[in-house]
């Protein structure tokens, strides 16, 4: 199955909880009135779009109704799709990963435990290899041996090397070694895994700051992407996680995982709108091929179950 069809299938529950309800509200032969806007607002909030973004979206719809002199609720569906697409697209230039051939590119992957960092790194390495980049991985989550092993297994699966140290060792040292190795081996992309134990927030944040400093110092010329991984199934919680991480590192992009099978996929709109950080990648499964660049238009089409 192609990625778009898989995305469509993965978004089934989100579609049921969001698009189908919105379509119900915006049915044919229904007048556009205050009650309709309120119903719409409620539906968006329940679909995990988030309160602020829902209010804003409905406000925009009110404006469009006046501008375009719309009369029937069914006409609002297209407008809604347009506006969602606009929010998700944001500033188009910034929606791709920071990658340049002929330069060292570092992707520092951060996020809380279990959101899918290590899996995303494996999938991303696979994606980049297919695009002819030379890729190196660094096992910066040194807290548990299993975390290191998991990355090593991904490395073997996709055929890239993993710089690692023992369990409990200093992540800064692993990152230092990996930066050196990336230069000496002329790697195009260094992807760094990190720990995500939020319950020990101060330590975690210190660790991340330190790692970011080491990258800057060792690879001053490199492109550095700080990719925050968020789990769509956590809904609004993903937004508060993002706020926490943003206080510590300069997050340049988001990867939203687990869009397959969740009913909370509407959160993607709130994430893009509230955080103003581009969504660069989406994950729709545990397999090697289940990660892709985020394309707002394709996403909206898949969400609304339209043909390509
Ligand atoms: N369904 C689904 N599962 C995912 C996705 N990404 C990661 N996972 C699963 O989420 C779990 C946690 O992933 P892991 O990479 O270990 O998270 P980490 O703690 O952030 O490194 C694993 O079972 C992954 O297979 C995704 O896009 N879809
Ligand atoms: Mg991990």
Average pLDDT (255-262) is 96
Q: What is the pLDDT of residue 199?
A: 66
Q: What pLDDT shows up at residue 201?
A: 77
Predicted local confidence at residue 92, as pLDDT: 84
User: Which pLDDT score, from 0 to 100, does residue 138 have?
Assistant: 98
Give the pLDDT band of residue 308 (cuts 50, 70, 90).
low
8 CA from centroid of ligand 2 (Å): 27
For the segment 127-149, the average pLDDT, to the nearest whole number, is: 96
The answer, yes or no, to whether any atom of ligand 1 lies below 6 A from the CB of 146, is: no
233 lines ligand 1 (CB under 6 A): no
Domain coordinates of the chain in residue numbers?
Answer: 3-92, 99-251
Give the mean pLDDT of 135-147.
95
Contact 134, 187 (CB under 8 A): yes
pLDDT at position 127 over 90: yes
How far does the centroid of ligand 2 lie from the alpha carbon of residue 204, in Å? 14
pTM, 2 dp: 0.96
pLDDT at 200 over 80: no
Mean predicted lDDT score pLDDT of the chain: 94
- Residue ranges near ligand 2 (ion) with Cβ within 5 Å: 117-118, 147
Provide CATH code, domain 99-251.
Answer: 3.40.50.300
Q: pLDDT band at residue 25, thresholds of 50, 70 and 90?
A: very high
Q: What is the mean pLDDT of residues 157-182?
A: 97
In short, whether 24's Cβ falls inside 6 Å of ligand 1 is: no
89-110 pLDDT tens trace: 998 888 999 999 999 999 999 9
Third-level CATH fold of 3-92: 1.20.120
Task: Judge if the beta carbon of residue 283 lies within 6 A of ligand 1.
Answer: yes
Residue nearest to atom 6 of ligand 1 (CA): 116
Per-residue pLDDT of 29-84, as tens digits, reads 899 999 999 999 999 999 999 999 999 999 999 999 999 999 999 999 999 999 99
Compute the distance from residue 254 Cα to the ligand 1 centre, in Å.
15
- Mutation pick for ligand 1 pocket among 13, 112, 119, 122 (CB with most ligand atoms within 8 Å): 119
Residue with tokens 């290590």: 118
Residue 203's pLDDT band (boundaries 50, 70, 90)? confident
pLDDT value at position 198?
Answer: 73
């Amino acid at each position: 199955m192609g990625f778009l069809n898989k995305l469509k299938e993965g978004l089934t529950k989100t579609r049921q909880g969001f698009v189908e309800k919105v379509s119900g509200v915006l049915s044919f032969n229904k007048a556009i009135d205050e009650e309709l806007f309120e119903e719409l607002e409620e539906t968006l909030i329940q679909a995990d779009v988030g309160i602020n973004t829902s209010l804003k979206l409905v406000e925009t719809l009110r404006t469009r109704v006046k501008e375009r002199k719309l009369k029937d609720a069914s006409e609002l569906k297209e407008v809604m799709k347009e506006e969602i697409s606009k929010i998700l697209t944001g500033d188009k230039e910034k929606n791709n990963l920071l990658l340049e051939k002929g330069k060292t590119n570092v992707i520092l992957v951060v996020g809380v435990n279990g959101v899918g960092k290590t899996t995303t790194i494996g999938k991303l390495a696979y994606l980049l290899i297919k695009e002819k980049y030379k890729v190196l991985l660094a096992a910066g989550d040194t807290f548990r041996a299993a975390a290191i092993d998991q990355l090593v297994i991904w490395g073997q699966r996709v055929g890239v090397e993993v710089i690692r140290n023992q369990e409990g060792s200093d992540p800064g040292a692993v990152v230092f070694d990996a930066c050196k190795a990336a230069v000496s081996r002329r790697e195009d992309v260094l992807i760094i895994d990190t720990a995500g134990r939020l319950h020990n927030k101060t330590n975690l944040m210190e660790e991340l700051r330190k790692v970011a400093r080491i990258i800057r110092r060792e690879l001053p010329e490199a492109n550095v992407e700080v990719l925050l991984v968020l789990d769509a199934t956590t809904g609004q919680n993903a937004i508060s996680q993002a706020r926490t991480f943003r206080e510590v590192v300069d997050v340049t992009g988001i990867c939203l995982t687990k869009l397959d099978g969740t009913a909370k996929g509407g959160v993607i709109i709130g994430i893009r709108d509230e955080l103003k950080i581009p969504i660069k990648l989406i994950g729709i499964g545990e397999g090697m091929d289940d990660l892709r660049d985020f394309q707002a238009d394709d996403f909206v089409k898949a969400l609304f179950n339209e043909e390509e």
